[in-house]
Amino acid sequence: MLLTLLDDTYDAYGTIKELEPFTDALIRWNFCGIEELPDNMRYLHSVVLEFFDKLEEEMEKEGKSGCAIFAKKGIMVSAKSYLQEAKWLNEDCVATFEEYKENGVYSASYLVMLTVTFLGMVDEGTLDVFKWLSTFPPLLATSALIGRLCGDIASCEFEHKRKHVGTSIDWYMKEYGVSWEKAEEEIKIMALDAWKTLNQELMKRPHPFPFPIVMRFLNFSRVIEVFYKDADIFTEPKLMKHHVVSLFLHNIPI
């Protein structure tokens, strides 16, 4: 929820003049320089800091000293990538498709999301795991790319209804001068190729970390397939009803 609020703040509500000090304050992890920002942005900033500070305190109590700092670093990475997209939109800048894709891997926010899930793993979530994750290993980069491309395919039509930095489909069209249909086809191929790369990484042996750690990357990508396969059910949660009912109410036939 916090990531959605942050993303929407950069996408739709904040101006560059507001977002730059907002981002700087997140990176410094303090309240300096945000006195003139709107109330909603100052409140969101305080909620983010409070949540992750409390998370760090809880991890300290559980003997995981130094682990939660990586979640804070993940938020900083997301904020910087969100700001980059906001700058592109504000400046009507046409960056290259590769630049958009590279930034999109960070703005998918997989680093902070996976870090937080690892914090909840009692035995497997060691300090070495967080240090490794912070290097953006291939498992993380590939699963984040799947999230970015699949999300773009599903949300492209919705994003065109508002002023937005655009999706990978838009950037591909601009750079290569192709139709929307051709660009969508190419992005789908890239997403499939990313799945192949992810599967290849998953099949490598031996893995440096326990199997439950490795499976998180696969499961995140599986969730993305549910959210974005046929429609953007993250943006339109009523479309999620079938999945919720199927999961919690319908018995599995044996």
Instruction: Give how far Cα 6 sits from Cα of 52, 110, 116, 224, 229, Å.
Output: 14, 14, 16, 19, 24
The two structure tokens encoding residue 108: 């998918």
Q: Are 33 and 17 in contact (CB under 8 A)?
A: no
User: Residue 208: its pLDDT value, please?
Assistant: 80
pLDDT in tens, 14-55: 899 999 999 999 999 998 889 889 999 999 999 999 999 999
What residue ranges define each of the domains in the chain, with the CATH number in brackets? 1-70+78-93 (no CATH), 94-254 (1.10.600.10)
- CB contact set of 48 (below 8 Å; sequence gap of 6+): 2, 6, 26, 75
Question: What's the chain's average pLDDT?
Answer: 88
Residues 125 and 70: beta-carbon distance below 8 Å: no
Average pLDDT in the 204-225 region?
A: 88
pLDDT digits (tens, 9 = 90+) for 67-123: 889 999 999 999 999 999 999 988 877 678 999 999 999 999 999 999 999 998 878
Residue 80 is predicted with a pLDDT of 96
| Alpha-carbon gap, residue 17 to 98, rounded angstroms | 27
Whole-angstrom distance, CA of residue 216 vs CA of residue 114: 8
pLDDT digits (tens, 9 = 90+) for 154-171: 876 656 556 666 788 988
Contact 180, 169 (CB under 8 A): yes
Is the pLDDT at 252 greater than 80? The verdict is no
